[in-house]
Amino acid sequence: KAGVTQTPRYLIKTRGQQVTLSCSPISGHRSVSWYQQTPGQGLQFLFEYFSETQRNKGNFPGRFSGRQFSNSRSEMNVSTLELGDSALYLCASSPGTDSGNTIYFGEGSWLTVV
Amino acid sequence: AQSVTQPDIHITVSEGASLELRCNYSYGATPYLFWYVQSPGQGLQLLLKYFSGDTLVQGIKGFEAEFKRSQSSFNLRKPSVHWSDAAEYFCAVGAGDYKLSFGAGTTVTVRA
């Protein structure tokens, strides 16, 4: 069974641009969540989607948004990039139908903003 | 809101020696607890999880963890460390809502 797949793995953007990151969950998983990892703030929850609906949201500005498609694939978008958005963005998936389900992470997308 | 504290930022251990990583959580109800490992430049790999039941849980790569409600702890242990265990380890707590709160992580260095 393939794991959580994220694309692209590495990207460099300029301040003010926008970026879209993609995530394909484990087959059969309907919950997809996103996390930001930085040296200063550690791992922080961005949002979680289930059946194309956002169920949970972390404390990030509106520049960070996401969506989920009917096949459970998800994208996150960051608009008006700032230097501080440079981070590893991790996608995670879970079956999502019972509380406490195990959450599996992908390899992440490394975003550098210059 | 839940939170996690990993008191040790960095631990150095000799190959073959035992390892224990500490994790303390703050959460009012029964927590869902996880340990993940991250090698440099990689994502997070799940080592083990605790949802309910037996408080001693076994994971992959020879790791185990014990849930102690009275101490709000979920410490990770390995009896004999291999050089390949050098990595960063994260403890996480959830409330069953697919939103995890992570500790700051513990970096493990293994010396020959």
Query: Each residue's pLDDT tens digit in chain B (112 positions)?
Result: 789 999 999 999 999 999 999 999 998 788 899 999 999 888 999 999 998 888 999 999 999 999 999 999 999 999 999 999 999 999 999 887 788 999 999 999 999 9
Which of B99, B101, B106 is the mutation pick for testing A, counting most A CBs within 10 A? B99
- Would you call B45 and A48 a contact, using CB atoms and an 8 Å cutoff? no
CB A90 to CB B44 under 8 A?
yes
pLDDT digits (tens, 9 = 90+) for A27-73: 999 999 999 999 999 999 999 999 999 999 999 999 999 999 999 99
From A31, A42, A55, residue closest to B102, measured CB to CB: A42
Nearest CA in chain A to B106: A42
Say if CB B19 and CB B108 are below 8 A apart. Answer: yes
Query: What pLDDT, on the 0 to 100 scale, is given for residue A1?
Result: 65
Q: What pLDDT does B96 receive?
A: 77
Give the chain A residue nearest B88 (alpha carbons). Answer: A42
Q: Kindly identify which residue of chain B lies nearest to residue A89, measuring between CA atoms.
A: B43
Q: What residues contact A93, with CB distance under 8 A and at least 6 apart?
A: A4, A23, A25, A26, A29, A31, A32, A33, A72, A103, A104, A106
CB A46 within 8 A of CB A60: yes
pLDDT at residue number B83: 96
pLDDT of residue A99: 55
pLDDT score of A98 more than 80:
no
Q: In whole angstroms, give the CA distance from residue A32 to residue A29.
A: 8
Verify whether the Cβ–Cβ distance B98 to A105 is below 8 Å: no
pLDDT of residue A101: 74
> Looking at CA atoms only, how far is residue A96 from chain B in angstroms?
8
CB contact under 8 A, A106 and B43: yes
